Amino acid sequence: MKRAWVTGSHGFVGPWLIRELTRRRIEVFGIDRPGRPPLQEGDSEGLELDLFDQQAVDRALRKHRPDAIFHLAAQSSAARSFQQPGETLHVNVQTTVSLLEGIRRSARDDLVLLSVGSCEEYGPIHDEQEIPVREDHALRPASPYAVSKVAQTLLCLQYHEAYALPVVCTRSFTHSGPGQSDRFVFSSFARQIAEQEKEGQRGPGELLVGNLAAVRDLSDVRDVARAYAELAEKGKRGEVYNVCSGRGIAIEDGLAILRSLSKREVEVKVDPKRLRPLDVPVLVGDVSKLRSLLGWSPSTPVEQTLGDLLQDWRMQLQRGEPNG
Task: Judge whether 172 lies within some domain.
Answer: yes
- Residue 264: which CATH number? 3.90.25.10
Identify whether residues 131 and 197 lie together within a single domain: no
Is 290 domain-assigned? no
Residues 97 and 45 in one domain: yes
pLDDT tens for the chain, 324 residues: list them: 899 999 998 899 999 999 999 999 999 999 988 877 656 566 678 889 999 999 999 999 999 999 999 999 999 888 899 999 999 999 999 999 999 999 999 998 899 999 999 999 998 888 878 899 999 999 999 999 999 999 999 999 999 999 999 999 999 999 999 999 998 999 999 999 999 888 876 667 788 998 898 899 999 999 999 999 999 999 999 999 999 999 999 999 999 999 999 988 888 898 888 877 766 788 899 999 999 999 998 889 999 999 999 999 999 998 886 655
CA 61 – CA 69 distance, rounded (Å): 10
Same domain, 59 and 192: no
In this structure, the answer to whether residues 70 and 96 fall within a common structural domain is: yes
Specify the long-range contacts of residues 204-208, CB closer than 8 Å, at least 24 apart. Answer: 204/264, 204/265, 204/266, 204/267, 205/264, 205/265, 205/266, 205/267, 206/266, 206/267, 206/269, 207/255, 207/259, 207/266, 207/267, 207/268, 207/269, 208/269, 208/270, 208/271, 208/274
Q: Are residues 99 and 53 in the same domain?
A: yes
d(CA 169, CA 150): 11
- Structural domain contains residue 293: no
In this structure, are 169 and 32 located in the same domain?
yes
106, 207: one domain: no
In a domain, 294, yes or no: no
The reply to whether 150 and 205 lie within a common domain is no
Indicate whether 168 and 313 sit together in one domain: no
What is the domain extent for residue 202? 185-216+248-282+299-319
In a domain, 236, yes or no: yes
- Same domain for 61 and 128, yes or no, is yes
| Number of domains comprising the chain | 2
Please state, in angstroms and rounded to a whole number, the distance separating the CA atoms of residues 280 and 216: 9
Residue 278 lies in a domain: yes
- Examine residue 287 and state whether it is found in any structural domain, yes or no: no
Q: DSSP per residue over 84-149, as a string?
A: -HHHHHHHHHHHHHHHHHHHHHHT-SS-EEEEEEEGGGT-----GGGPSBPTTSPP---SHHHHHH
* 66 & 208 share domain: no
242 SS3 class: strand
Query: Are 125 and 194 part of one and the same domain?
Result: no
In angstroms, the CA 282 to CA 59 distance is 44
Has residue 288 been placed in a domain? Answer: no
Query: What is the domain-level CATH number for residue 228?
Result: 3.40.50.720
